[in-house]
Amino acid sequence: MPSPFPGMDPYLEHPKHWPAFQHHLLAGLYQILLPGLVDRYRARVGTRTYTAEVVLFTSVTPEEHAEEYIEVRNRADGRLVTLVEVVSPANKTTPSGRAAYLEKRAEAVAQRAGVVQVDLVLQGKPTLSYSRDALGEFDYSVSVTRPAAPDRYEIYTATLPKRLPKFKVPLAPDDRDALVDLQAAVARAYDLGGFAAAVDYKAPPHPDVPLSDAHAGWVDQTLRQLKLR
């Protein structure tokens, strides 16, 4: 059974669902990206780990995080060509999560690699600073930077009620970009993770997910039309 929502599913930001969703989403992005890579490249999934402090009532609890990312490397010399990241809630809500994420990004930029950031998280503060004036209203985004202009962003956006975009993954300047369908990757992750059975759609999304009144009403209407609430 597919997700009841046409784009991103805000219920997947729930702490008990997100780690599995992020894992399956990275796997889906990897599987979609791989056929678009010519023989000069190889792709691998790496993992970073860190500890974030989570405040629970009157206590602070250390929480271990493991986050995967995709590296596209030159097959001949192993040089990093492109880093593909999926932002986690911890990257946007905890100091250590943000630091771990930005450190990996800085390493890629220092190696003159392209960087792709997939941000499907509503909570927390954006990890990147760029002008949003000309982008209109959006909830989710993919940002792409290229080695020749690491401070210039190509932005692909979507709102909660809309389908997620396709985006381009930069490779070497003399190769065509690889095209990735983000919605297809999310749909694959939702299916592989068995979220249709795991998510309780009768309840509201997790309270940490900041839905506007308009979005909360749209979520409720969508689920009622599908008789899931």
Domain boundaries, the chain: 10-225
pLDDT, residue 157, reads: 96
| Confidence band for 229, pLDDT divided at 50, 70 and 90 | confident
pTM for this prediction = 0.94
166 and 180 Cβ atoms separated by less than 8 Å: yes
Q: Taking Cα atoms as reference points, which of 14, 83, 16 lies closest to residue 45?
A: 83
Q: Beta strand 80-86 with 114-119: parallel, antiparallel or unpaired?
A: parallel
Q: Taking Cα atoms as reference points, which of 88, 120, 93, 121 lies closest to residue 104?
A: 88
User: Is 70 exceeded by the pLDDT of residue 78?
Assistant: yes
User: Is 90 exceeded by the pLDDT of residue 36?
Assistant: no
pLDDT, residue 57, reads: 67
Contacts of 35 by beta carbon, 8 Å cutoff, 6+ apart: none
Q: Give the tens place of pLDDT for each residue, 125-146.
A: 999 988 788 888 999 999 999 9
Give me the mean pLDDT over the 1-13 stretch.
95
